[in-house]
């Protein structure tokens, strides 16, 4: 990692920590600034690092840009009305991450069939447990979103499987944390609201995105 990339990453980590404090203190004004600024910082890191595959970097940047769109849509006062659009923005982000991860894996030793199977098994467990729990909540409380949430669940799990296929620890952990973040968000949104859930969502989300960006580097 270059010195400039390390500096930007460090500054981004500080902004992320500020966002977590804002979430914990329920300081919406500060969160409105720190949350999107964290993603902007990660975009900058992705742009200036030396990636293992340049095209994978482009796709990751696209994913981060759409994640930024989702960040904004899901924190605005009209969040309930904008939720489907935020969901769609993150859906596109994962659709960009999937080929990016495949290219990254191909550039660093090839995608592993064995690890793809492991990823599929992990995804299957996720569907049978958390996925079923969340979809049940959506069916009860927001039936109009069942189709959209099902598609989103399928795509994010495909992203997780692709991350496993790269056999890159940072990519695997990053994708897993993304799934955890979205699972907590969905459970809080559609099943039962829990104290502190929003903070868990943001911490796991920011760590997920940061690890995915860092996985681009050929360590």
Q: Does 114 fall in a domain?
A: yes
Tally of structural domains, the chain: 1
Residue 104: burial class (beta carbons within 10 Å; 0-12, 13-18, 19+): buried
**Residue from 120, 126, 125 nearest 162 by CA:** 120
Q: Is residue 219 part of a domain?
A: no
Structure tokens at 212: 């995915």
Per-residue confidence (pLDDT) for residue 2, from 0 to 100: 83
> pTM value?
0.94
What pLDDT was estimated at residue 169? 96
The SS3 of residue 53 is coil
pLDDT per residue of the chain (219 residues) written in tens, 0 to 9: 788 999 999 999 999 999 999 999 999 999 999 999 999 999 999 999 999 999 999 999 999 999 999 999 988 887 778 888 999 999 999 999 999 999 999 998 899 999 999 999 999 999 999 889 899 999 998 899 999 999 999 999 999 999 999 999 999 999 999 999 999 999 998 888 788 899 999 999 999 999 999 999 987
Note whether residue 18 is domain-resident: yes
Q: What is the pLDDT of residue 81?
A: 84
Confidence (pLDDT) at 69: 95
Q: What is the structure's pLDDT at 199?
A: 95
The whole-number pLDDT of residue 29 equals: 92
- Has residue 170 been placed in a domain? yes
26: left (phi over 0), alpha (psi -120 to 50) or beta: left
Predicted local confidence at residue 32, as pLDDT: 94
For residue 23, being part of any structural domain is answered with yes
Task: Give the pLDDT score at 1.
Answer: 79
Provide the residue range defining the domain that includes 62: 3-214
Residue 127 lies in a domain: yes
> In the prediction, which pLDDT does 218 show?
83
Please report the pLDDT score of residue 192 as a whole number.
85
Q: Which pLDDT belongs to residue 76?
A: 82
* CA-wise closest residue to 215 among 156, 158, 176, 173: 173
């Amino acid at each position: 990692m270059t010195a400039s990339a390390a500096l930007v990453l460090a500054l981004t980590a500080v902004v992320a920590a500020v966002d977590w404090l804002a979430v914990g203190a329920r300081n919406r004004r500060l969160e409105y600034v720190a949350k999107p600024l964290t993603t902007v910082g990660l975009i900058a890191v992705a742009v200036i690092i030396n990636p293992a595959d340049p095209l994978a970097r482009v796709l990751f940047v696209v994913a981060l840009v759409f994640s930024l769109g989702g960040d904004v849509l899901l924190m605005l006062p009209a969040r309930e009305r904008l939720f489907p659009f935020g969901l769609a923005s993150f859906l596109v982000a994962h659709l960009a991450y999937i080929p990016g991860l495949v290219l990254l894996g191909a550039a660093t030793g090839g995608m592993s069939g064995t690890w793809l199977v492991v990823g599929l098994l992990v995804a299957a467990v996720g569907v049978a447990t958390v996925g079923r729990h969340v979809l049940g909540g959506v069916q009860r409380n927001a039936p109009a979103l069942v189709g959209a949430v099902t598609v989103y669940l399928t795509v994010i799990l495909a992203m997780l499987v692709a991350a496993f296929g790269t056999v890159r620890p940072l990519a695997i952990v990053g994708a897993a944390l993304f799934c955890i973040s979205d699972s907590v968000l969905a459970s809080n949104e559609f099943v039962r609201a829990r104290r502190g859930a929003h903070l868990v969502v943001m911490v796991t989300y920011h760590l997920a995105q940061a690890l995915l960006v860092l996985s681009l580097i050929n360590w």
